[in-house]
Amino acid sequence: MGTLTDAVREAVREAVQEMKNEAEAAPHISTDDIAELTKTTEELKERLRLLDERITKLESRAQHTAETKVEILHSAVGDEIQTLQELRKNIGEQRW
């Protein structure tokens, strides 16, 4: 169930790694640029956390919906079985 979460995390990791690689490749990078990269990294981490929460909630809702559908189906099937049993009983009584 966590495949979407894993994909988002991997995308963020790749973006952070790319920023680190750029920073290492540019020795002339200023302190301000490093601060900006750090800020961006923290923002990405926070967005990842929020996305993870949303995905978890959506997965929970999907699970709940699936369970509700199963309950409705079982209820409907149970009602149909009961109706058929009553019909058989009535038909049996009418034969005698």
The range of the structural domain enclosing residue 38 comes to 3-95
pLDDT(95) > 80: no
* Count of structural domains within the chain: 1
| Cα distances (Å, whole numbers) of residue 71 to 1, 65, 66, 74, 77 | 22, 10, 9, 5, 10
What are 1-46's pLDDT values in tens digits?
567 777 878 888 888 888 788 777 777 778 888 888 889 889 988 9
Burial of 37 (0-12, 13-18, 19+ CB in 10 A): middle
What are 58-89's pLDDT values in tens digits?
989 999 998 999 888 888 888 888 888 888 88
pTM score, whole prediction: 0.52
